[in-house]
A and B are shown apart, each in its own frame.
Chain A
Amino acid sequence: RKVTVEVLDRLEHLALVDFRDAEGVERLQKAIQFADQLHEVNTDGVEPMDSVLEDRCLYLREDDVTEGNCTNELLKNAREKVEEYFVAPPGNIPLPKLEERETFLQGS
């Protein structure tokens, strides 16, 4: 049961990471095959486990500001910035469709 190009395309959109080549796609196929072994296990009546600490209360501290004022420190690591802003390219432009963008999946 192979993964369709539509799903592969959707994954590239969601992850914003590319499959790069046939090996990349094959890697996913193998990963799914491997994961399918899970279905051998009977999990009727079993609750999913989020955390091994599920029996404990999550710690919430007081909503007081205890640190900050490190704008300069944080901006140091950004490549594009203006005054105290991180600069991003224009948003609300969807990633080009499969046919229009540079992706290995185009040929599939």
Chain B
Amino acid sequence: MLRASLREVSAALKEGRVTPTELCQKCLSLIKSTKFLNAYITVAEETALKQAEESEKRYGRGQPLGVLDGIPVAVKDNFNAAGIETTCASKMLKGYISPYNATVVQKLLDQGAVLLGKTNLDEFAMGSGSTDGIFGPVRNPWSYSRQYKEKSVPKSHSQEDEESNWVITGGSSGGSAAAVSSFTCFAALGSDTGGSTRNPAAHCGVVGLKPTYGLISRHGLIPLVNSMDVPGILTRCVDDAAVVLGTLAGHDPKDSTTIQDNFKPFDLPNLTDVSKLSIGIPKEYHAPGLSSEILSLWSKAADLFKNAGAKVIEVSLPHTRYSIVCYHVLCTAEVASNMARFDGLEYGHRSDMNKSTESMYAATRREGFNDVVRGRILSGNYFLLKQNYENYFIKAQKVRRLIANDFVKVFGSGVDILLTPTTLSDAVPYMEFIKEDNRTRSAQDDILTQAANMAGLPAINVPTGLSERGLPVGLQFIGQSFQEKQLLTVAKWFEKQVKFPMIQLEVKRHDHGAFQHQKSASFS
């Protein structure tokens, strides 16, 4: 039942084949047995069960609120959820209980969704591994899959090897991706500023949708880069993403950066004829470091469209390689501004230092932020200094326009959708990932996803196949502004063609704290 898609389980609830409380309890139980993944920071067991009970009453009356009624979901811990701790995986917000719901959280709850808990991330969503938060790194569920284990060199089947071999989820929405991938929920919210939803989606073998900037409200999402942040949607299939999108999209008076156009939720048609489609393959996305496996998969995908009658052409986005540099400047500048609100006075961590407001603020921020966050704040402030403003910040804003224009030109020439890889390689082992620092890693890993944030375009990761190591690899579709329906329709067609395999997760029961092969429950 937990392996079903959101729509399938919704139908089951409607037909009474399962009850919301049963579903909720199953998910909570699975969260407990997959605790080692460290995907959840907070599990809101009591409130979730209450929500499930309410949902059950509605189903009993034959009055469910909609498709999402009774569906267990999870939300990244940088979204405010009333009455629940929202930490952003930082000491700065540890103990902070949100006094309100982010608009997207409110919308999910209004539809009757059951909020299981808040998921783990990189501190303040800064990172591409979900490894740099105070609650520790998130483990990719595929580390514990039969597919990965079969492919790993069997040195000895010792527990230590397994322990050190686990791979990262990618980030920064790693907890959400892991939660969906390990079947503990049917949909999860992430955020996407440079690829933070699509990157972990690719590594965890799930669908990760970054909507057009301005489509979904950011009210209640603790901001990183106001001009690029968007809430992201993680699900196990494209149809499910469309359902969640339908619930979340639309103008919000509390977020003036949401567009006022009327948004109509849509069902995805079952596309059979792609002959009218024009797919663009941007040559600059053949980036240095792209693994030959992914290159090959990308090429096969292009052929798939070609053989089905679509027009597939190579295009150029000449400023792609400056996207990361541009992002680096604009991101740190906006971060410097957004992090200024954390001073210990109204919420969050507060230092005991009380000689003066400035010294209290300084001490609070010294104690509350990790190296990555502090580093970005300081860099951002540097680029915003009067002597640097024109040369760095304004310059980056100009380059941003060039990047956005690249896309306008390509889409204007008749291309409907772009097809690119999402990541440079499959998920790396944690031990290897931490050898490089956060900024280097982010610069490497965001290269294929960042430009879509720069231009505000919608993009989606679709799990495509398994690598030689038995780990998921995804491909990315980038669409035109506010053309989510077209984007998702094509993504759904592609998803159907590639038939990505289901994870064969092996969850061992660990008794008495010592790792023992006692029982092995296999989800296959």
Interface residues of A (CB under 8 A from B): 3, 7, 10-12, 14-20, 23-24, 27-28, 30-32, 34-35, 37-41, 43, 46-53, 56, 58-61, 70, 73-74, 76-80, 86, 88-91, 93-96, 101
Contacting pair B362 A17 (CB below 8 A)? yes
- Which of B379, B395, B455 has a CB less than 8 Å from the CB of A39? B395
Contacting pair B397 A77 (CB below 8 A)? no
Return chain B residues, CB-CB under 8 Å to A77.
96-97, 99, 346-348
A16 vs B359: C-alpha distance when bound (angstroms): 8
Contacting pair B374 A20 (CB below 8 A)? yes
- Which of B227, B332, B360 has a CB less than 8 Å from the CB of A89? B360
Contacting pair B374 A95 (CB below 8 A)? no
Instruction: Produce 1/0 per residue, B364-391, CB < 8 A to A.
Output: 0110010100110111011101000001
- Which of A32, A50, A74, A89 has a CB less than 8 Å from the CB of B382? A32
Contacting pair B383 A35 (CB below 8 A)? yes
Interface stretch, picked from B121-129, B282-290, B350-358, is: B350-358
B109 at the interface (CB under 8 A from A): no
| 25 A–B contacts from the bound complex (CB under 8 Å) | A17-B365, A18-B362, A27-B379, A27-B437, A31-B382, A38-B322, A38-B325, A41-B319, A41-B322, A43-B402, A46-B402, A48-B398, A49-B400, A52-B455, A53-B456, A59-B256, A60-B256, A73-B99, A73-B100, A78-B345, A78-B347, A79-B344, A80-B350, A89-B356, A95-B362
Contacting pair A11 B257 (CB below 8 A)? no
Interface residues contributed by chain B, number (CB under 8 Å): 70
A3 vs B378: C-alpha distance when bound (angstroms): 12
B475 at the interface (CB under 8 A from A): no
Given A28-B375, A52-B456, verify A38-B214 contact (CB < 8 Å): no
Shortest beta-carbon contacts, A-B, top 6: A52-B456, A48-B397, A93-B356, A77-B347, A43-B398, A49-B401
- Which of A23, A24, A41, A51 has a CB less than 8 Å from the CB of B227? A51
Contacting pair A17 B374 (CB below 8 A)? yes
Return chain A residues, CB-CB under 8 Å to B354.
89
- Which of A16, A58, A59, A86 has a CB less than 8 Å from the CB of B365? A16
A105 vs B261: C-alpha distance when bound (angstroms): 52
Contacting pair B214 A52 (CB below 8 A)? yes
Return chain A residues, CB-CB under 8 Å to B361.
16
Contacting pair B377 A15 (CB below 8 A)? yes
Residue of chain A at shortest CB distance from B392: A35
Return chain A residues, CB-CB under 8 Å to B382.
3, 7, 11, 28, 31-32
How distant is A47 from chain B, measured CB to nearest CB, in Å?
A: 6
Return chain B residues, CB-CB under 8 Å to A15.
336, 365, 377-378, 381
A80 vs B231: C-alpha distance when bound (angstroms): 33
How distant is B225 from chain A, measured CB to nearest CB, in Å?
A: 11
Return chain B residues, CB-CB under 8 Å to A12.
362, 378
B509 at the interface (CB under 8 A from A): no
Residue of chain A at shortest CB distance from B438: A27
Known pairs A27-B371, A28-B378, A48-B401; list 18 more (Cβ under 8 Å): A7-B385, A10-B385, A14-B385, A24-B371, A31-B332, A35-B325, A35-B329, A39-B391, A41-B398, A49-B401, A59-B260, A88-B345, A88-B360, A89-B353, A89-B357, A89-B359, A90-B355, A93-B357
Within B213-272, the residues touching A (CB, 8 Å) are: 213-214, 227, 251, 253, 256-260
Contacting pair B253 A61 (CB below 8 A)? yes
B328 at the interface (CB under 8 A from A): yes
A14 vs B365: C-alpha distance when bound (angstroms): 12
Most buried by B among A15, A32, A43, A60: A15
Return chain B residues, CB-CB under 8 Å to A27.
371, 375, 378-379, 437, 439
A97 vs B194: C-alpha distance when bound (angstroms): 37
B443 at the interface (CB under 8 A from A): yes
Return chain B residues, CB-CB under 8 Å to A101.
359
Given A78-B346, A79-B350, verify A95-B358 contact (CB < 8 Å): yes
- Which of A24, A28, A48, A58 has a CB less than 8 Å from the CB of B394? A48
Given A31-B439, A38-B326, A58-B256, verify A52-B375 contact (CB < 8 Å): no
Return chain B residues, CB-CB under 8 Å to A32.
379, 382
Most buried by B among A12, A43, A74, A91: A43
Contacting pair B397 A49 (CB below 8 A)? yes
How distant is B261 from chain A, measured CB to nearest CB, in Å?
A: 9
Return chain B residues, CB-CB under 8 Å to A46.
398, 401-402
How distant is A67 from chain B, measured CB to nearest CB, in Å?
A: 9
Contacting pair B395 A96 (CB below 8 A)? no
Contacting pair B257 A43 (CB below 8 A)? no
Contacting pair B358 A16 (CB below 8 A)? yes
B177 at the interface (CB under 8 A from A): no
Residue of chain A at shortest CB distance from B353: A89
Return chain A residues, CB-CB under 8 Å to B455.
52
How distant is B90 from chain A, measured CB to nearest CB, in Å?
A: 13
How distant is A41 from chain B, measured CB to nearest CB, in Å?
A: 5
Return chain B residues, CB-CB under 8 Å to A52.
213-214, 227, 404, 455-456, 481
How distant is B405 from chain A, measured CB to nearest CB, in Å?
A: 9
A47 vs B401: C-alpha distance when bound (angstroms): 7
A39 vs B394: C-alpha distance when bound (angstroms): 11
A104 vs B49: C-alpha distance when bound (angstroms): 50
A90 vs B353: C-alpha distance when bound (angstroms): 12
Return chain A residues, CB-CB under 8 Å to B392.
35, 38
Contacting pair B325 A34 (CB below 8 A)? yes
A60 vs B343: C-alpha distance when bound (angstroms): 29
Return chain A residues, CB-CB under 8 Å to B343.
16
